[in-house]
Structure 1
Amino acid sequence: MPRSEINRAGEMDVFVCVVEQGGFSAAARARRMTPSAVSKLVARLEARLGARLVNRSTRAFQLTPEGCTFYERATRILADIEEAEGGARAGEQPVGRIRLTTSASYATHVLAPILPDFQDRYPGVTLDLVQTDRVVDLLAERTDVAVRAGGLKQSQLVARKLGETGMVIVGALAYLERFGRPETVADLDGHNRIGLGYVRTVEGWPMRQGDATVLVPVNGRVQASDGEALRQLALTGNGLARLTRFTVRADIAAGRLVPVLEPLNPGDREAFHAVHVGQGGPVPARVRALLDFLAERGRVA
């Protein structure tokens, strides 16, 4: 078939639908096609590319490595097409879907309150929000923007700083009344120090002791997968937690959580960045709109 007669965008759209629907039959229903037509289209695509994209069986649907790569690129191409068409229709207004990953803490305390304004400003943009504290591979997980805490390693990602915040050790008043309020580093030995259940750059709580800074191990009987879960554990009296200030500022003001050991706080701060793929290349309007909005409204302190 001549190259000009191949509907590449149509093939990509059906293939992406097969992947996202989890099979040929579901994709056929979504695209109002027959399952055999969807299967033949994918088979034609594989023949033209000279690569198997999908391992087929009666019980399982699995992408091959080549299929994963093609899917990632196809989703971006289709998003760019959607954006180009939307821009022509709407005077270059950003349109399309943005996949954003961020921590539950940032999503809860910073992003959620400002999202209505973003939606009002950009009605053609839809947001797919994924909450996780782990560092995701933006390309592998088809992510447009990630908001990350802490230092950034050198990479091909582009970063925009969203401010930085201090850290504070807190506990619920009921917990402190039961177990006592620590006044020294040694006092922490008698407390349940709850922390995150994954490896971090700094393992332990940095504390000022004389002229030095020491790391206090986090050996609580409860661990959590993200900072917001730690906050909830602290609020319900499970122990002490060291958290970013912006996540507990309202709790402290309302008396739900009480800061402890502030004279020994070393004053370390955690930076937040919005990162995206695109070094040396154009940034889609929808992604640029979100980055500009976060820089304006989504800063931490």
Structure 2
Amino acid sequence: MDQIAAMRAFVRVVEAGNFSRAADLLDIPKPTVTKLIQQLEAHLRTKLLNRSTRRVAVTPDGAAYYERALAVLSDLDELDGSMARSQASPAGRLRVDVPSSLALYALIPALPDFFARYPDIQLDLGVTDRTVDLLAENVDCAIRGGDLLDPTLIARRIGEVRMMLFAAPGYIERHGMPLHPRDMEKGHRVIGYFNARTGRPVAFDMMRGEESYELHLPYSMATNDSTAYLAAGLAGLGVTQTIEPMVSPYLDSGALVRVLPDWHAGQIVLHVVYAPNRHLSSRLRVFVDWVAELFGSGGAYRHAAASLLLAANPRG
């Protein structure tokens, strides 16, 4: 029996919740996973998992073994990583989940710099506005905006951004340019954005210094995808709230104009997050450091965080 392979298979089954998903994540056949678990239980002379047709449950011995196995595998990965760092640059596959607009307007344009530094890393970039389950979906880390709804995640703050209002010139011609948030309540419409997990809409709470104004406006359209949200704004369907660097090309071309430029719609904190029992490999460590540098450098990418429309928005 390959005990290390069996331990890795067991840990993945526990995290994934079933043998099929664990086999997919390990990229090995399901019968191989089953055989490794059986061999491990025979070697340990104890039952680690209770199996049924629908689910896998961890036994008390299995729960204890999982914690110790996770620590052993983390130490082993760290040992391998330290040897690799001493001889070469970080290498291997890294799965990162990023909100769609953040990926398009901030992360992907900056990736040539990352690959120039770390050419041996392969990046599997999950682009979605859905909040993924890092462990179940085998994601190494994710970039999220707003309050973190899962307190078990390890989070590194990488920046903060402000939301502003924008609209297409054609929309302003039809409805007029508001001078105060209360003017928005006189026939204006917004484009709604709803949280993909909860279905709750993002609020339009306007602020200027110590002054605040809460808007309750009808929407012409609502979406849970930030790219579609921007497209709706460009089509003149209503007023949008997003980040200026994300729309700066459209401001320069005249396709969008600022609305209530002295006001903003709140401030969102950005984090890169990863699971506490996800070993911080050398490739994950350098990516986290690079992302923190990217968004904390004061450059345009720091502000290109459509992610506040994209993940766990504190008001969403």
TM-score band by shorter chain is: 0.7 to 0.9
Q: Under a length normalisation based on structure 1, what TM-score does the superposition of the two structures give? A: 0.73
Match of 1:292 in 2: 289
8 Å CA contact 1:185–1:209 kept in 2: the answer is no
Give 3-state SS (helix, strand or coil) of 1:231's partner.
helix
Matches within 5 A, 1:17-32: 19=21, 27-28=28-29
8 Å CA contact 2:193–2:201 kept in 1: the answer is no
Matches within 5 A, 1:2-17: 6-12=1-7
Q: CA deviation at 1:93?
A: 2.5
Q: CA deviation at 1:266?
A: 4.3
Q: CA deviation at 1:192?
A: 2.4
In 2: Cα distance, 1:53 partner to 1:129 partner: 34
In 1: Cα distance, 2:31 partner to 2:136 partner: 30
Match of 1:243 in 2: 242
8 Å CA contact 1:175–1:237 kept in 2: the answer is yes
Match of 1:98 in 2: 94
8 Å CA contact 1:195–1:218 kept in 2: the answer is no
In 2: Cα distance, 1:227 partner to 1:137 partner: 20
In 2: Cα distance, 1:172 partner to 1:104 partner: 22
- The residue type paired with residue 284 of structure 1 is S
In 1: Cα distance, 2:208 partner to 2:294 partner: 37
- The residue type paired with residue 238 of structure 1 is L
Give 3-state SS (helix, strand or coil) of 1:213's partner.
strand
Match of 1:32 in 2: none
Match of 1:31 in 2: none
Q: 2:39 aligns with which of 16, 41, 44?
A: 44
Match of 2:165 in 1: 169
Match of 2:183 in 1: 187
8 Å CA contact 2:92–2:122 kept in 1: the answer is yes
8 Å CA contact 1:83–1:96 kept in 2: the answer is no
Give 3-state SS (helix, strand or coil) of 1:143's partner.
coil
In 2: Cα distance, 1:224 partner to 1:276 partner: 27
Q: Does 1:272 align with 2:274?
A: no
Match of 2:204 in 1: 205
Match of 1:124 in 2: 120
- Percent identity, please: 30
- The residue type paired with residue 121 of structure 1 is R
Q: Under a length normalisation based on structure 2, what TM-score does the superposition of the two structures give? A: 0.70
Q: CA deviation at 1:182?
A: 2.8
8 Å CA contact 2:165–2:260 kept in 1: the answer is yes
Q: CA deviation at 1:294?
A: 0.9
8 Å CA contact 2:98–2:126 kept in 1: the answer is yes
CA gap of 1:63–1:200, structure 2 versus 1, over 3 A, is: closer
Match of 2:310 in 1: none
- The residue type paired with residue 19 of structure 1 is R
Is the deviation greater in 184-193 or in 241-250? Answer: 184-193
CA gap of 1:168–1:73, structure 2 versus 1, over 3 A, is: farther
Q: CA deviation at 1:262?
A: 1.8
Q: CA deviation at 1:217?
A: 2.1
Give 3-state SS (helix, strand or coil) of 2:114's partner.
helix
8 Å CA contact 1:197–1:224 kept in 2: the answer is yes
CA gap of 1:40–1:232, structure 2 versus 1, over 3 A, is: same
In 2: Cα distance, 1:64 partner to 1:278 partner: 22
CA root-mean-square deviation:
4.2
Note the alpha carbon deviations across 1:111-168, whole angstroms, 9 max, x for none: 1111222223223322232234454454444332221212457935443332222211
8 Å CA contact 2:194–2:202 kept in 1: the answer is no
Give 3-state SS (helix, strand or coil) of 1:191's partner.
coil
Unaligned segments of structure 1, at least 5 residues = 1-5, 29-34, 57-61
Q: CA deviation at 1:105?
A: 2.0
8 Å CA contact 1:170–1:258 kept in 2: the answer is yes
Give 3-state SS (helix, strand or coil) of 2:190's partner.
coil
8 Å CA contact 1:82–1:95 kept in 2: the answer is no
CA gap of 1:162–1:27, structure 2 versus 1, over 3 A, is: closer
CA gap of 1:127–1:65, structure 2 versus 1, over 3 A, is: farther
